[in-house]
Amino acid sequence: MRRLTFSWQGTAALLLCVTALATLPLLSDGAARPLTDGTASLIFIVIASAALLSFAPQPPAYRATVLFIGAHGAAWLLLAALSGNEGTATRAYFLLLFSAWLLAWRCVTELSKVPSAAAFGASVLELLIPAIFGAWILILWEASTRGAGIPFILLPPPSAIGARIMASLPILGDDVRQTIFKAVLIGYIVGCLSGFVVAVLADRIAFLRRGLLPIGNMVSALPIIGIAPVMVMWFGFDWPSKAAVVIVMTFFPMLVNTVAGLSASGSMERDLMRTYASSDWQTLLKLKLPAAMPFIFNALKINSTLALIGAIVAEFFGTPIVGMGFRISTEIGRMNVDMVWAEIAVAALAGSIFYGIIALTERAVTFWHPSIRGG
């Protein structure tokens, strides 16, 4: 007979439920729409049932399903209870919210144990686990801001930010077009490509290697707020000045990483290429560049973040009446914090997509590398 499988998350969730039961009600007496006893009881039942069922002997996939339903069902009921009752959540309410979060934690733990022989199943799990984690950041954010009555100007709830995004799609689209598709992409391509070309030359010419790398380390330490005003004076207020900032920020990380990568191949491999009478270009293409690919993609991933940050910050120092940085600086002055957070959310989404594309390309190009084969 198989034994029960206890977990500290499930046990803690049950203890929090008992504590919440002793500190009822879930909403204060000033609630405009008081919570019915039936709804409150249902929340307790959902959390307690999921915690108890998770102790039963069963495969990790079934246990994760039970925990997923219990955690997110309770969260939906708790968030629905705040409709029209903002700022009235009590201690019992937050105890139940944290107990549901513990169930979601246990769900993610069980999902990480699910075996998957198929590549598709493994990919689904790789996406599902961070999706649950991210969803609970939003759930806790929403419940905390609305339940505790945090002033909107300090921290708007995610629902308000989502509503602002949907209502401002044309404005956000123009800002993305100006900042990302012009300044970021052009600056990123030019900066990374030029850094790569100079790194190849520096690998061949010791003078460049010894002279440029110390300068690269120095320039990498320069603050954006020092570079951006200068570039605006040189290239004007439109996107070319922002692209110039991105070029400066991305050139030296690519240079330093590529030079290090081109030196990563061992002396034995280089001697072997010489015994085959390989030319310098053949050695570069067939030995040095493949060995340098992990370093090059590391620089590309680092630069994907630096490029977005550099372009947005550069727009604070002068830009046409469009752009993500311009919108953030303007709307925060008007106290339209939901629009500021909408721009931040769009920038985070664009940066994540950009980073994801580079990471997928890396897996396709460096499939032979032990870090990729091991994953």
Residue 17: band (very low, low, confident or very high) from pLDDT cuts 50, 70, 90? very high
The whole-angstrom separation of Cα 92 and Cα 109 is 26
Question: pLDDT tens digits for 266-315?
Answer: 666 666 666 666 666 776 767 778 888 888 999 999 999 889 988 898 88
pLDDT of 123 reads 76
User: Hey, what are 171's tokens?
Assistant: 């404005």
Rounded to the nearest integer, the mean pLDDT of the chain is: 85
Q: Quick one: average pLDDT of 198-216?
A: 77
The predicted structure's pLDDT at residue 272? 63
- pTM: predicted TM-score of the whole model, two decimal places: 0.82
Let me know: does 259 contact 203? Beta carbons within 8 Å.
Answer: yes
Q: Is 54 helix (H, G, I), strand (E, B) or coil?
A: coil
Residue with tokens 């721009």: 343
Q: What is the pLDDT of residue 152?
A: 87
Per-residue pLDDT averaged across 168-173, rounded?
Answer: 92
The residue with greater pLDDT, 271 or 34, is: 34
pLDDT digits (tens, 9 = 90+) for 343-361: 999 999 999 899 989 988 8
Cβ proximity of 273 and 286 under 8 Å:
yes
pLDDT band at 108 (very low <50, low <70, confident <90, very high): very high
Which pLDDT score, from 0 to 100, does residue 365 have?
81
Between the ranges 97-101, 196-200, 222-226, where is the mean pLDDT highest? 97-101
Give tens-digit pLDDT for 331-340.
888 888 999 9
| pLDDT reported for residue 49 | 94
In this structure, what token pair is assigned to residue 191? 């900066």
When pLDDT is cut at 50, 70 and 90, the band that residue 1 belongs to is very low
Mean pLDDT within 127-146: 92
Average pLDDT over residues 140-159: 91
Residue 54, C-beta contacts closer than 8 angstroms, at least 6 positions apart: 5, 7, 10, 63, 66, 67, 103, 106, 110
